[in-house]
Amino acid sequence: MLRRLLPALLLTALAAAGVPAAAVPAAAAAHAAPSPSAEPAAASVKYYVVRNQFNGEPEFLFEIAQRFLGSGDRNDEIFALNRGRLQPDGLRLTKPEAILPGWILQLPADAEGVGVQTGPLPTVTIAEPAPAQALTPVKSGPAWWLWAALASAAVVVVAGATAAWWLIRRRRQASAAPSPSPLWPDTDRYYRLEDTAG
């Protein structure tokens, strides 16, 4: 009872004195009783991380069972130990013939060979996707139709200016040109001579 009470009193006294909890020696933490919610240590198992290939061929459960358990017929045992377990890529083992590189496969206790690891089975956690953020529209220049309208207006202005210049030039040329000569140039003179004769 005194062992449980002593670390609590020590922490309370240090907190009252303003000493941070990180400064408490590790020895006081060692005397503290484990909390009832503490998880037990994971059991040690044998497991294998699937490679891209073995001897130039893709790996599959039959070959893994043959290599580490002595018989390919024991692939059902490996499948039963790993069925439905979450793998690092977010997928799960659902068919014995479908395994992918990087998957962690628990093996039966009698498995042995190069590549077999012993220890707690690595836990796989898939990170939650970040919450979707509201998309803000990118500010851009005027819409395409505004540019089209401006281009069309520019074409109309240039065409109108060209037509006006052509008409003004034609009028100037017409007014500067000499008047056409009459069909009968001396008609007036002829009539005047006739009047004077009679």
pLDDT tens, 16-68? 545 444 444 444 444 444 444 444 556 899 999 999 988 888 898 999 999 99
> What is the distance, to the nearest Å, from the Cα of residue 44 to the centroid of all Cα atoms in its chain?
38
Phi, psi torsion values for 84, nearest 5 degrees: 80, 0
Interval 105-114 mean pLDDT: 92
Residue 150: the pLDDT is: 85
Residue 75: predicted pLDDT: 92
C-beta neighbour count of 61 within 10 angstroms: 23
pLDDT recorded at residue 147:
79
pLDDT of residue 135: 60
How many beta carbons lie within 10 A of that of residue 107, not counting itself?
Answer: 25
pLDDT tens, residue by residue, 120-175: 988 877 766 666 666 666 566 567 777 788 889 999 999 999 999 888 888 888 77
Q: How far apart are CA 38 and CA 56, in angstroms?
A: 45
Q: How far is CA 62 from CA 58, 91, 127, in A?
A: 11, 20, 32
pLDDT of residue 27: 43
Residue 11: pLDDT band (50, 70, 90) is low
Categorise residue 55: left if φ over 0, alpha if ψ from -120 to 50, beta otherwise.
left
Question: Cα–Cα distance between 61 and 177 in angstroms, integer?
Answer: 104
